[in-house]
Structure formats: structure tokens, C-alpha cells
């Protein structure tokens, strides 16, 4: 059973439910009514606007022939992923060193520093000053900087970004 959850870990259970209903050719409205739930409630769950409650989870598991607790476990995995994203978004370099003008096209306070590290490194090493480059080097480490800049050795302040290297 653990292997089954692995591919769905972090996905909202409502989206998985919607996919399962489509696979079985079951309409949401009649399915919700068969569970003695409002169709609007089930619709909000399948759209990811509402979480899966234990009571609803048990009803869905039973109706679809799933192991008891399946939907609730998927909800727990989703909640864990949300919390990790909140934690991760709080980790960032010292923003008192980084000039906000370097990120004129976005709100610097909303940057996901781990997810968008390639673009942050590229931007800083193209337009940043020595202090900003050092801060990014300290935050990401030499390995990530090397991977983006294409340089085998890092000599302090001058690390040019290889502009011909396509970022993925």
C-alpha cells in the first residue's frame, strides 16, 4: 500500500478523487448524494478548495472500495507538503545585502529561493555587486553556483554566468 501512496504524495486528495471518478465514469453530483453529502461540498473538495474530513474520507473509501483511511492519509500527505513549503519559503539569504532592484520584475519577499535558485544565481551573478555574490555563494554553496555558472573553480568575486547555457 505504501508504494501506491508514493506517486500521490503531496497531491490534494480531491484531485485524486476527481481522477478516480472520471476513470470509473461516475458523475460527482450523484456520487455526492449517494454519500449523503452536498454536491457543492464534494465539488469544493475535488477542486482543492476544501480539505478531506475524516467522515467524508471514510464514506468515499467505502463507496469506492478503497482501503479504510486512504483518502485521509492522502490529505495528511498534502498538509505535510504545504507545511514544508511554508518552512522552505522562510529560508532565504540575508535580504539586507541583496538590493531589491535586482528583482524589479517580482516581489523579492515572495521568491521561493530553493525552487528558483537557477534564476536567482543567474540574476545575482549577472547584475549583482561583490557583496551580493558572496551572500548568494554562502547561501547556495559552491556546488550550486558551479552548476549554474559553468565554472570549475570559483575565485571569490568574479563568477560570470554562462549565458549560452540554457536553464531548465
Nearest residue to 109 (alpha-carbon basis) of 122, 124, 98 = 98
DSSP state string for the chain: -HHHHHTTTTS-HHHHHHHHHHHTT--HHHHHHHTT--HHHHHHHHTTSSPPPHHHHHHHHHHHTPPTTHHHHHHHHHHHHHHHHHHHHH----TTTS-GGGGTTS-GGG--TTTTHHHHHHHHHHH--HHHHHHHHHHH-HHHHHHHH--SS--TT-----TTSPP-
Tens-digit pLDDT profile for the chain (168 aa)? 445 667 888 899 999 999 999 999 999 999 999 999 999 999 999 999 999 999 999 999 999 999 999 999 999 999 998 888 777 656 788 888 999 999 989 888 888 888 888 999 999 988 999 999 999 988 888 888 888 887 645 554 444 545 445 555
For residues 76 and 74, what is the distance between their CA atoms, to the nearest angstrom?
5
> Is 13:49 a contact under the CB 8 Å cutoff?
no
Q: Which three cell numbers stand for residue 99?
A: 538590493
Per the confidence metrics, is the pTM higher than 0.85? no
Q: Which three cell numbers stand for residue 163?
A: 549565458
Amino acid at each position: 500500500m505504501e508504494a501506491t501512496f508514493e506517486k500521490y504524495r503531496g497531491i490534494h486528495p480531491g484531485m485524486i478523487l476527481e481522477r478516480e471518478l472520471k476513470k470509473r465514469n461516475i458523475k460527482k453530483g450523484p456520487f455526492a448524494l449517494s454519500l449523503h453529502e452536498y454536491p457543492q461540498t464534494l465539488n469544493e473538495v475535488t477542486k482543492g478548495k476544501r480539505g478531506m474530513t475524516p467522515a467524508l474520507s471514510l464514506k468515499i473509501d467505502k463507496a469506492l472500495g478503497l482501503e479504510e483511511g486512504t483518502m485521509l492519509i492522502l490529505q495528511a500527505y498534502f498538509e505535510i507538503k504545504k507545511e514544508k513549503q511554508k518552512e522552505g519559503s522562510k529560508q532565504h539569504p540575508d535580504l539586507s545585502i541583496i538590493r531589491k532592484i535586482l528583482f524589479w520584475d517580482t516581489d523579492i519577499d515572495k521568491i521561493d529561493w530553493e525552487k528558483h535558485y537557477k534564476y536567482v544565481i543567474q540574476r545575482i551573478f549577472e547584475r549583482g555587486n561583490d557583496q551580493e555574490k558572496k551572500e548568494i555563494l554562502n547561501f547556495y554553496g559552491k556546488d550550486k553556483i558551479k552548476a549554474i555558472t559553468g565554472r570549475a573553480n570559483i575565485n571569490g568575486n568574479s563568477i560570470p554566468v554562462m549565458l549560452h547555457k540554457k536553464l531548465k
